[in-house]
């Protein structure tokens, strides 16, 4: 009986050592990658849900309208027309039945800060800011400078 238990223990230990580690599974084309570019989540038979990875090298990961996330994104709540949106570094999210969806902002939405990587433009003689095709105009509200979605490029 001791030999049988010892044999099973050796097999289990050997199998555990032979199993690919998380680091080994992340090898792609001979280049070590500590994470994939996107992480797939969600039920097998339901819609595919993509979770954008955090910024790399100071640049946010690309997101596209219609992209869905299971987890609540970090950011501030922006209420517009009685609907709550989440604003996070130039990306607007709307709550859906099982998660959040990236949506196009509505003209008139007010956000507290500009997204990283914005550009400056002069439009009708006034300074505006552009990020991902969205034009923001600065304005004063309650003694602070905030930014209004003014249109699209």
Task: List pLDDT tens digits, range 80-131.
Answer: 999 999 999 899 999 998 899 999 999 999 999 998 889 999 988 999 999 9
- Reduced to 3 states (helix: H, G, I; strand: E, B; else coil), residue 64 is coil
State if pTM tops 0.75: no
Sequence-distant (6+) residues with CB within 8 A of 93 are 69, 73, 75, 85, 86, 87, 100, 101, 102, 103
């Amino acid at each position: 009986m001791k030999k049988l238990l010892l044999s099973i223990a050796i097999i289990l230990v050997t199998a555990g050592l032979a199993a690919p580690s998380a680091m080994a599974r992340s090898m792609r084309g001979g280049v070590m990658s500590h994470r994939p570019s996107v992480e797939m989540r969600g039920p097998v038979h339901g819609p595919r849900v993509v979770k954008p990875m955090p910024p790399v090298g100071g640049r946010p990961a690309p997101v596209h309208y219609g992209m869905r996330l299971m987890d609540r994104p970090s950011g501030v709540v922006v209420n517009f027309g009685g609907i709550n949106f989440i604003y996070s570094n130039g990306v607007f999210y709307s709550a859906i039945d099982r998660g959040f969806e990236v949506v196009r902002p509505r003209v008139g939405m007010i956000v507290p800060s500009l997204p990283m990587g914005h550009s400056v433009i002069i439009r009708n003689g006034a300074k505006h800011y552009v990020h991902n095709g969205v034009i923001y105009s600065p304005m004063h509200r309650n003694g602070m400078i905030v930014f209004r979605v003014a249109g699209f490029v």
